Structure 1
Amino acid sequence: MKKKFPAVLMILHLLALGTMITSYLLIGRTDRTVDWLFLASAVIIFICIIYTIIYSRNSMRHISKMNKHLESSAAEFMNSLPAPVAVIDEHRQFVWYNQIFAEKIGLGQDVYGHDFEGFVKIDIESLKSNGRAICPINGSIYDVTAEQFDKNDMSFLVLYFHDDTNYYAIKKNMDESHPNVVVITIDNYDDIMQNAKESEKAQTSVETEKLIENFMSKTNGFIKKTSSNTFFAIIENRHLNAIIDGRFKILDAARNIKIAGKYPLTFSIGVGQGASSLSESENIARQCLDMALGRGGDQAVIKTDNGYRFFGGVSKGVEKRSRSKTRIIANAMQDLIMSSERVFLMGHRFGDLDSVGAACGLAGALKILGKQAYIAVDRSKNLASNLIDIVDEETNYGLFINPAEAEELIGPNDMLIIVDTHNKDYVESRALYEKAHSVVVIDHHRKTVNFIDDAVIFHHEPYASLASEMVTEIIQYFNYSSDEKIASCHADALLAGIMLDTKNFVMRTGVRTFEAAAYLKKMGADTVAVKLLFSNSIDSYRRKTQIVASAKIHNNCAIAAADFKSDDIRLVAPQAADELLGITDVDASFVIYKTGSTVNISARSLGALNVQVIMEQLGGGGHQTMAATQLEGTTVEDAVKALIYAIDDCRKNASEQ
């Protein structure tokens, strides 16, 4: 041990000196060389003895000073404390500790002179600055506090260890037993049950309730059915965390329940975790349920400090057959329109045929209602310039204005209608949105976190194919004072939007999509004129085929990177992504291209892979079959690596469900 080291060293030196003198006397003087060797050895040993004496005196002086600072009464008091106490010097070595420290932390060892951090894993500097630290030691959890003493040439730190093991055990148990509200609803229950037989309804109800009872049997919570398709549950954290770790397997089990052997049930689940009261938990659970339904259903949503966590969402949204909600929305919108002086419309940045077409369709209806309408578009950053030129030429009344003009014109008595997006960051003009006093949102994209939360009317229908379809249904329910029809160019614009997003009535097409197209045809829409809006130049076609030819297949996904720049790259890239879906065994396609300092990814699928989930991992969003994202401050090569990682992660999660 360090405190015995000087004495032992002194004894060894004396023994060595005595042995050498004895040997010299026995050998005798034979030669001068031996004399010199003896003299040199004696001097060396003598110097070592002097150094050992000095070192021993310094150590004793240090211990004496230490004892002086810790008077006998104080030392006895600290030694009798029921908590471990230790003192370390400026070299972070133990110079004193009480008996309970030796038992609890030293485990019976003599730690005098040993390094403090070898026994206690605490950063001393952090402890000194913060004043305290929580540290697990030998299976217990200690709250460690420090007090520093400096006097003359001495500096030492007194450490107090308070055993908080029981406190943290109680806290952990309380945290695990904290109750949370969970709301479970059956998606589109009324629609899918509408034509079912009574026996099928009864069987479905029994299977659903058995599934939910089995789900709750693994917890000590309870569940209450509040309506034909809604259940409220109270679940403790310990069980809810296990359900989360299992990625809500009830979602997969629900899909196995099929009405008449055809139509699978899907659940939407809102979880109110992290609330301080049951009332707050219920509010959070309802918010999460709204988010799940807004993203198409068949998923569980949990609100976190940084946004939301999503589980599931692998099924396609089921089309709603009832138009009662659309009729109510149309009536409320018309009342708001008639009470406004003027109406401004805008879509998302880099507007496409769906965004511009929906705005044009509404503008045509507003003209019949006798209201002045303006569509805010940036013509230099738009993918539907051909449509804008045609409508602008045929209407000839200044329908399209740039966003800056709209920002200057809009007043407190005007309203703003946003179509084909519900995200504040994606609108054509954020300033125009912020200046508007009355906002209406019409969108079909699956709900994102940064949605517009102050809209007077928020018509969000993720089951709809596209915004143009939603607008077509709305304008049918407007009460017009005359029999005038919307102009054919407005009907063409709406039909162009429908044909774009459905890929000529192939993707995301439901019964209501064809009904909307039939209505537009009746309004005078010209399918040939609409088809011409999709025509490309020969150079654009060459660029599209160049992207397709560069594609690589990874995990049944086609990935292509455009290594060139062109003015129409935003138009060509999505078309190339559509073309790549025609390759055998390709579940999804991704085209990566760069505009300025931004790397863009356009994603498409036929439904076998949810590209929205993949794009959300990269900060984007969209639909299950159509999504995109934008990455700032990166390269195309790094974007490809990030995309491959997101694809593999999505595949892994899908296989675990």
Structure 2
Amino acid sequence: MKSRIRMKGNLRAYMQLPLYWTGFLVLLTVPAYILDWRLGVGATGFTLIYFCAELILYLNAKPKLASEVINFATRYATVQKHLLNEFEIPYALLDYNGKILWMNQEFRGLTGVDQGYHKSITSLFSSLTKEVLQKPEFPHDFYVDTEEKHFRVAANHIYFDTVADHSALMSIENSEEFLIAIYLFDETQLRHYMQENEDQKLVSALVYIDNYEETMSSIETVKQSFLTALVDRRVAQYFGKVDGLVRKVERDKYFVIFRHKFLAQLEEDKFKVLEDVKAIKIGNEVPITLSIGIGLSGETYTENYDAARAAIDLALGRGGDQAVLKNDAEITYYGGKAKEVERNTRVKARVKAHALREILESRDNVIIMGHSLTDIDSLGAGIGVYCAAKFLGKKAQIVINNPTSSVRPLLETFVPEAGYPEDMFINSEEALEALNYDSVVMVVDTNRPSYTECPELLKRANTVVVFDHHRQNSEVIENPTLSYIEPYASSACEMVAEVLQYFDDNMKIEPAEADCIYSGILIDTNNFMQKTGVRTFEAAAYLKRCGVDVSRVRKKMRNDMDAYKARAEAVRRAEVFRGAFAISVCPGEGIESPTIVGAQAANELLNIVGIKASFVLTEYNERIYVSSRSIDEINVQIIMEKLGGGGHMNVAGAQLEGYTIEQAKEVIMQTLDSMLEEGDIVV
């Protein structure tokens, strides 16, 4: 259908006004006929002559007027086109599908094409696709780059029915859907200045020597000052390469500031100073290790320093020998490959014991909980805290939702017939009812709120205490009244046993309670073969003095036949990956605690010659639980962190959701390949 040009608005009314006067003249002929018929005939003749003359003039003038209007519009459009052509901002007009219809000089100069180029804009800028251009709202932060410049793209949709408003002279019918006008704003300098501003920002960092006392006590006195000087020099030289300022604030602490643009360089070499300092050997038996905390993206220097403090606390809480970058909520870890160093001093345990006593004495009741799927270490630590609360005459309850077969034999010891209250063990609903303003919630064997038996307790409680031996991650329990996290400890039970020794000289725990705590140490150390130190055996000796019966403990920790067969099947089905990693699947059908069996299978696989790390996958409750173990060569903790889990250097785990068993195995293999290529692990 052909488009018709027609007049509208004021122009149409102006042109047709003389014709409207004909109606007025017709009305005048009526009184003329009344006065005199001859006068009426004359008026009628005049009206006809007037109408014919005006109609002829209207029909002759309309094309001429339309031509003049079009000529004016054409000249006006020519002026507009000339202005757009010389517009300093690159501009182009596209059709509905993104095909170039017209572009100005700046756009042609930028793209290097001529005016006859009518291909799709995508051929010039691959990111400017038809789908992006046709979106109702074009992205505000859309950018395209050339070899030397950076442009922000703005786009407008031009609909023909909105080109002219109601006061326009003419309209065009049957238009296309819309055209697209794009503008390229040169933000090269702006981005340069923004990047320069970002590069010049000062980054705060804290550098701590993890094991200062232990290292100094392992060398002769005359060499101690020399060792300190070597560490000072390595730290100063390392940050000096990036124009950093290093100031020693204590004998084992440094404060460092440097410009943000050098951070990428430090990340690229993965904070090599960690390895450089460990390489210092002047007779010290214990390698010296560093922890680094770096704070970023604060609006002020104080905020950056606070972020650095949080980062260094996280690094120390994870066992040290690593760098932690805290960028708002994003946390990045580097290092952490060294084995945690056991502290010989018990000062910290004594201080924590006294602090715990003060908290318990000031509260009405104690609610104790560990992680979900309570294991023996979590239960044993809870029993230890229960003993402390009972000694002070405080009501204590332990939250366990679904006891597994591994802990049920121990739970059966604490029955009313043995003198224990019926409500010693409660579920989450009962715990929430028991919680009041003066309650203290004691979390053991985990420091992640989402892993606890009842996360809602942590949100409602006014006083929270955390005792754990796992390395901290980005997810932590916020603002605890007391936090005692020691990654060097073999188990939460070991930590609690140490605290109980300093809780009160007159405190005595029952043999059944000591059995439970001892069992936790036994399980987490794999019968004292993993992650044991002097203090582990001292804690076991204390429990033995309290009446531990090893035979009684062994009977309570025996597996049933189905669990034993499942463990054997997991060992039988193991696959060896890269000649050093054993990966297997533990069958969970008909087993009450398949995750426990999976962990046992992972320990068994380490008895095979050549296996440096084991990974056992267990499907349970629509999740896949990964148990990972190693002896000393592979840090499985950093491997599990890649999968969202954590743990220790030799004992770690993770939980995967939304994966099948085969997909989970593939993810583990890909993670191992990636870490081998990057040098994070070495076989």
* TM over 0.5, shorter chain: yes
* Equivalent residue in structure 1 for 2:144, among 114, 132, 135: 135
Q: Distance in 2 between matches of 1:69 and 1:148?
A: 24
Q: Which residue of 1 aligns with 2:442?
A: 417
Q: How many Å separate the matches in 2 of 1:377 and 1:584? A: 39
- Identify which of 107, 119, 125 aligns with 2:124: 119
Alpha-carbon deviations, 1:564-599, whole Å to 9, x = none?
A: 512242332211111111111111111112123222
Distance 2:359 2:104 in 1: 79
Deviations 1:479-502 (A, max 9, x none): 36xx45211111111111111111
Q: Flag the 1:339–1:217 CA change in 2: closer, same or farther, 3 A.
A: closer
Partners of 1:439 and 1:243 in 2: CA distance:
37
- Looking at structure 2, the residues matched to 66 and 557 of structure 1 have their Cα atoms a distance apart, in angstroms, of 83
Distance 1:655 1:487, change over 3 A: closer
Distance 1:118 1:216 in 2: 47
- Is 1:560 aligned to 2:565, yes or no? no
Separation in structure 1 between the aligned mates of residue 509 and residue 182 of structure 2, nearest angstrom: 83
Are 2:645 and 2:653, in contact at CA under 8 Å, matched by a contact in 1? yes
Other structure's SS at 1:184 match = strand
- Secondary structure of 1:543's partner? helix
Q: Identify the residue that residue 87 of structure 1 maps to in structure 2.
A: 93
SS at match of 1:263: coil
> Is the contact between residue 84 and residue 161 of structure 1 (CA under 8 Å) also seen in structure 2?
yes
Structure 1 stretch displaced more, 541-550 or 66-75? 66-75
Q: Is the 8 A contact 2:296 2:328 kept in 1?
A: no
DSSP-derived class of the 2:480 partner? coil
Distance 1:96 1:564, change over 3 A: closer
Is 1:470 aligned to 2:476, yes or no? no
In the TM superposition, residue 89 of structure 1 has moved relative to its aligned partner by 4.5
Contact map agreement 2:587 2:594 (CA 8 A) in 1: no
Q: Which runs of 5+ in 1 are unaligned?
A: 1-60
Which position in structure 1 is the counterpart of 2:43? Answer: none
Amino acid at match of 2:519: A
TM-fit CA distance, 1:94: 4.2
Is 1:217 aligned to residue 226 of structure 2?
A: no
Cα distance change, pair 308–66 in 1 and its aligned pair in 2 (3 A): farther
The one of 43, 61, 75 aligned to 2:81: 75
Q: How far apart are 1:624 and its partner, in Å?
A: 1.3
- Residue 486 of structure 1 aligns with an amino acid whose one-letter code is I
Q: What amino acid sits opposite 1:558 in the alignment?
A: A
Q: Distance in 1 between matches of 2:461 and 2:181?
A: 64
Q: What's the offset of the Cα at 1:535?
A: 1.9
Which letter does structure 1 place at the counterpart of 2:238?
A: F
Distance 1:541 1:233, change over 3 A: same
- 2:51 aligned residue: none
- Contact residue 89 and residue 106 of structure 2 kept, 8 A: yes
**SS of structure 1 residue aligned to 2:291:** strand
Q: 1:65 to 1:378 in 2, by over 3 A?
A: farther
Give the structure 2 partner of residue 622 of structure 1.
647
Distance 1:550 1:72, change over 3 A: closer
In the alignment, the residues of structure 2 paired with residue 363 and residue 311 of structure 1 have an alpha-carbon distance, to the nearest angstrom, of 38
Alignment of 1:311-350 (within 5 A): 311-350=334-373
Deviation at 1:337, TM superposition (A): 0.9
CA distance in 2, matches of 1:138, 1:365: 70
Map residues 304-383 of structure 1 onto 2, 5 A cutoff: 304=327, 307-381=330-404, 383=406
Quick one: distance in 2 between partners of 1:590 and 1:66?
81
1:299 aligns with 2:307: no
Alpha-carbon distance in structure 1 between the residues aligned to 2:419 and 2:512: 8
User: How much does 1:259 deviate?
Assistant: 5.3
How many residue pairs are counted as aligned between the two chains?
592
The structural deviation recorded for 1:380 is 3.6
Distance in structure 2 (CA, Å) of the matches to 1:243 and 1:290: 20
Q: How far is the alpha carbon of 1:379 from its aligned partner? A: 4.5
Q: Following superposition of structure 1 onto structure 2, how do residues 439-518 of structure 1 map, counting pairs within 5 Å? A: 439-479=464-504, 483=506, 485-518=508-541
Q: Does 1:583 align with 2:608?
A: yes
1:260 alignment partner AA: G
Q: Could you say which residue in structure 2 is the equivalent of 1:98?
A: 104
Alpha-carbon distance in 1 for matches of 2:72, 2:290: 71
Compared with structure 1, are the counterparts of its residues 305 and 286 closer, same or farther at alpha carbon in structure 2 (3 Å cutoff)? closer
Gap change, CA 1:653 and 1:383, over 3 Å in 2: farther
Question: CA separation of 1:91/1:290 partners in 2, compared to 1, >3 Å: closer, same or farther?
Answer: closer
Query: Cα 1:106–1:648, aligned 2, differ >3 Å: closer, same or farther?
Result: closer
Q: Deviations over 1:342-396 (max 9, x none)?
A: 2221211111221111111222232222222222223544631111112335343
Match of 1:396 among 416, 420, 436: 420
Match of 1:24? none
On the 8 A contact 2:405/2:592 being kept in 1, the answer is: no
State the partner residue of 2:302: 279
> How far is 1:539 from its partner?
3.7
Describe the shift of the 1:120–1:569 C-alpha distance in structure 2 as closer, same or farther (beyond 3 A).
closer
Query: Hey, what's the Cα distance between the residues in 2 that align with 1:93 and 1:67?
Result: 26
Partner residue of 2:658?
633
d(CA) in 2 for partners of 1:627, 1:378: 23
Residue 287 of structure 1: CA displacement?
A: 0.9
Q: What is the CA–CA distance in structure 1 between the aligned matches of 2:307 and 2:659, rounded to whole Å?
A: 36
1:646 is matched with which residue: 653, 668, 671? Answer: 671
Instruction: Name the structure 2 match of 1:569.
Output: 594
Q: 1:176, 1:627 → 2: CA distance?
A: 38
Q: Per-residue deviation at 1:118?
A: 2.9
Q: Distance in 2 between matches of 1:246 and 1:212?
A: 15
Name the amino acid aligned to 2:596: L
Task: State how 1:255-274 maps to structure 2 within 5 Å.
Answer: 255-258=278-281, 260-274=283-297
Q: What residue is the counterpart of 2:571 in the other structure? A: 548
- Closer/same/farther in 2, CA of residues 218 and 656 from structure 1, 3 Å limit: farther
Q: 1:538 to 1:653 in 2, by over 3 A?
A: same
Question: Which of these residues, 596, 599, 616, is aligned with residue 621 of structure 2?
Answer: 596
Distance 2:532 2:630 in 1: 14
Return the alpha-carbon distance in structure 2 between the equivalents of residues 450 and 330 of structure 1.
25
Kept in 1: contact 2:292–2:315 (CA 8 A): yes
Question: By how many angstroms is 1:519 displaced?
Answer: 1.4
Q: Which moved more, 1:379-388 or 1:604-613?
A: 379-388
Aligned equivalent of 1:290: 313
TM-score normalised per structure 1: 0.84
Work out the CA distance in 2 between the residues paired with 1:371 and 1:395.
16
1:340 is aligned with what amino acid? R
1-structure distance, mates of 2:320, 2:145: 44
Contact 1:394 1:489 in 2 (8 A): no
Secondary structure of the structure 2 residue equivalent to 1:508: coil
Q: Does 1:385 align with 2:408?
A: yes
Q: 1:162 to 1:437 in 2, by over 3 A?
A: closer
With over 3 angstroms needed to count, the CA separation of the structure-2 counterparts of 1:67 and 1:553, relative to structure 1, is: farther
Equivalent residue number for residue 184 of structure 2: 161
Return the alpha-carbon distance in structure 2 between the equivalents of residues 428 and 65 of structure 1. 82
Q: CA deviation at 1:600?
A: 1.4
Deviations 1:9-55, CA, capped at 9 Å, x for gaps: xxxxxxxxxxxxxxxxxxxxxxxxxxxxxxxxxxxxxxxxxxxxxxx
Q: Counterpart of 2:123 in structure 1: which amino acid?
A: G
Distance 1:215 1:569, change over 3 A: same
TM-score normalized with structure 2 length: 0.81
Structure 2 residue ranges without an equivalent (≥5): 1-66, 164-171
Give me the whole-angstrom Cα distance separating, in 2, the residues matched to 1:542 and 1:372: 42
> Residue 264 of structure 1 aligns to a residue in which SS?
coil
3-state SS of 1:327 partner: helix
